[in-house]
Structure 1
């Protein structure tokens, strides 16, 4: 990567447009970036980082990138032209910009923008590639092969970070190297192995717990037969599976022995029970036959006792069969009599509803009267329609009256509302005009309010800066006094050293060696150091103290100037008016503006109210006119209804006669026709049923005589209904069946023989059989329990064996993963140096960095120092990130924290350059043709500075250009290519002098 050109506008301390030509600076290979403190040297490097990655280095993030010296309408912009991976690119970035509004007051914020272009050599022009922040960031990161943190560490070499790196402990070095080399994947491997170890351990423990649970169930199944206790091992302990399987095998053998014993005992009890059951069956059979013979004798005696009742039932059954021939005539006569009584009752009820005129009339007379009433009813149909029309006319008149009352209310409301219309409209128009005036006044006050607030803020800042100015002035006076005292002290020590320089030179004289002053080889009376002699170290310390005090003085004066400039600007904006008075004015303007805005807020509501009122006026006026039209139409309709009503009432008076209405008259006729018709029908039915009753009496008398009964009543008494017939037949059949059964039982040979034997003892036989059954059941239960115990133990043992087989691979996996996890975490006994995997990778990287840095450190230190990597453990921590320096003068190895200030600088510089080489190689070999080295050269003496510059100058052999960021005055004489940053009241500017002296 080589930088060509950087263009900055309104960025950091640069108020205007500035341009840096790196091609011109890089011709000498080594150039100097210098300027006073606070001028903006670091801002140039921030601009490079911002152009590439869209953000500044981490330590300076969060602040505003825009210059306070820039004009309001000038946008902040950074453009960088560079070559990377053989491609010439131009990157332009603009952060968010708050610019003044084109209309009105205030500001509006424009979004951040980015452009990426590539130079097309054949066409000699630039080609646009992208305007997306994300795409540009991904493209640059891919081309450089470095993140922003890596770029800031290897291109913008911060010496202070590497000085701290030299003195840091292993943890701090690990954090820095981890950010640069991105070893998160190795930490992820450690975490993944730890997670897999925990998962495998959980699975193994769960399997062991399941195995122990099965063992406990086996122990419950064995019960009191267990000969050995359950192994007392916890889940995860070695040997658990073998102990459980061995214990299970012993208990299975014991359970099978008990099953064999129980099986034999069951066979013996089954034989005894079968014999007792046969004896019991024989005794029960004898007892049954004896009971059967005794019961048959008792039943024969009961049949003899009921023989008389049996003869009566047989006679009754015979009479009932004869009466069945008379039953049809009896049923016909009873049905005819019932029908006649019903018809006579109906005739009586029908005649009771007739008037006296028809009480004696026959069926024919009643039918003729009904026909006459029906003819009169048919003549009333036309009168019914007229009466219905009269009802409709009355309903219509009522509707017209209701509409008339509603229209009268509408007319009254409309006339009352319209009479107040002019006053309402005038009031609403006044509200609108008042709100419009308030809105105009609010706009005028808004214009005055913002300048008043600005003056108030400036006045408050003025009051604050006045106090800050006094404090800053006091600090300047104190710093000047301290600087003067330090200078006086340094000059005094220098003068004392010059006075005693002879003694300092004499200390180096050796007999036989020439004197550096006079050349003599003999030194008879060399000068001696007196008390209070000042050597070069004391003088250098005094000079450093003076320089530090002078820098503090300059910084105090700069801050005083900044505060005074800010105070002058605030005073110019606020004037001499007291802050309290400005605050009162601003508060008054705010109050008046608030009141005006409140009054103006009713403008929209007043306008809406006026529009609603005008719409209501139009609606009320139209309603008034429509109501008047409807009233005229109703008058004509009411006259027509009156004429039609009079005609209909005259016609209906004739039709209804003495009745209240035509409908009432029709109802009277309908009832009369129905009553006469019903009376004629019931009279005909009653005469017919009387004749049929006489015929049924004659047929009944004839049937009773032929069946052998003296009277019909005797035949009716002998007749049996279905229930009585079934009951009588059942008793006769039961008698015959019982008689046949008793004779059959008494004739049985076995039953009679059993009756001659002694009574059977069933109870004793049952007790013997019950004892045999109980013993057989107990033996069967014992045998079943033993079988279940064996089956359960077999099942649990098979399950335990399967669990052990299933746990075998899990245990092997757990052992393997546990060894890997503890090895990667540095806690394994095999890891002698207790080095984590990530630390191991970082240690390898640190070893590469130390080797690359040692080549340059030996040259800077004239071959004295060499950086070496150490794997030794630091205290109780883990090893792998130790860094030592080997001193060739003493031949001893010591910690880098023991280096002096100057030694620390060139050691950290060598480390930074070595780290840049290693990171570059890991990034895919991207060439870094431009490097920047931050402060730290002021701590070097002249000889060491020459050696450091030689090393930096040697980087040109790799076609690199190195920019040194420093304010050391001696470097300006040694390095001709310079970029100077000069600060001023309107912002900083850059001045460039190329390697050719231009």
Structure 2
């Protein structure tokens, strides 16, 4: 980081604004700040450190102490630092918390601490926390580290050199960016621990597999199995034990399978005999039950037959109801026709009332329009001559306007003449001043020329020396030299005075020419205006012309205003006439429309009256023919009849279904009874209790054999799974042991934990190398400074 410019306002001992341009010191990167005690050296350190980190350079000064006690209440306190880092330029501005004068009213208020950082691309951040983080990221140092290595105040560098390894290590970590080596050390240590954990986990898995071994207590291998659980056998012997137990269980499983097969065969024979005996007993019981059911179904069949006969007798009544429904449905459209004629009658009556009202309205509108058109025609006739009157007044207005413009132009010319006369007077005054100045310079020139001529002898005498011939008399002796006056002008003075006079004379001539030109312009303008005035108001002098012209112009303006009022009134009348030209045809159209409406409504009334009478006749005929008042009542009656018919038909259908079902049930039970008789013809009674006891014995034998088989199968499954797990984990442990050996050695080396070696971590070794390079470069400068008497060496312990 190289400071470029520092600006302090109301900071420390500086009551005002103080700027330091470090860029003028060059770019070598090493600056020395010296001065007497109290000269402000530490303030510069404080300002730079405060701008970067928001703190002073020393631990005995806090930011609240940085405001100048000499600053006025309205003077702010802030520090602005422009610095370069990595080839880019940044600007940071900060202010501490301090008391300042209020912008409004009296008294003081607290100004909160603030910060602002401007990046090379112009981007800005203004939050203190964000600025602190950004500076830390850019510079790569804390305030303490910056004070020790970048900006060294008095004896602070000695603290860095004499610091312990752990403290110096933190500083060098940020300077040399060695945190990656710390990460490598930690990752190696973590990786070694991870592999060790995997190896321990694999060993724990093997112990869990061994604890899961199953072995019968009566087995000759029970003692070895217990030793394996206690961890008293090596893994290879444990694997062999598991294989032996698996073979023993497989032989036992085969024997149990043969025993179960024989028991199953006996059970099948006894089960078959029991099934036949149970079937014979069940058939006898079923036969007795089905005989009782036959009696009940016979009674039900007879009842269903009687119900069916009764339902079949209602068929004629159903046919009669259906006939009546058909007749009523044929008349349903007539109800719609009745409703249509009723609606037509109501609509005709409504339309008839509307037609009468429209006819009355049209008659009234016709009368009103007739009266209005008569009045409008009279008004149109009265406005027939308006255009001619307006044209006559417009001609008069044009004449007055033209004459008024002549007077306005004349008055404008008189104003121009006044300005030209004023300009002429100014030019004449300029000429008089120039002529006066020229005369004065001529006088001065003539005086200097005469004085110069008078002093020519003295001038020549001042140039004579003994032995030199005089340019006038030729004598080489000069006993009485002419004396030159002290204020005698030189030839250069005379030429200068002549040049000044000549310039003044030129200026006088130019002023004279300009005045003469202006005089000609005034004379021309006066002649032109005099002719215009004589044509407008004969016999009036130009001096009185402006007043007379203004009076005439005002009189004409009044006349023009009066004509404009009259023309405006005529314009309104013309607009009204134009309006009448449009309005009268419209009103006449409305009148014809009203007459047509009256004729149309008269015909419409006649038509609607005939239509209403026809509808009334049709309604009367339909009322006499229909039994019900409306279609809804007729439909309700049809619905009731249809419901009654459906009920009778459903009763018949239900009776037929019940009869058929009863008949089918009776036939089915009789067939079942016949089959049971045939089944019992070849059967005999058997002692089922003896067969059941024998079956129970074989079932018990089968359960015992299956339990043994289940236990053996479980033992095989458990021991087989354990054997596979132990074999796999043993191979895994072998791989992990090899991997852990070289990873542990690498971690110990990087972290300085190799026994018998110096305990130097990888980061410390890298930092030591960098530090030795720094010392080597520093000793080149130190030896020059000390004449080869001193150099720096690193502590080895």
TM range (shorter): 0.3 to 0.5
Higher relative contact order (CA 8 A, sep 6+): 1
* TM norm structure 2: 0.44
* TM norm structure 1: 0.36
Q: Which has the larger radius of gyration?
A: 2
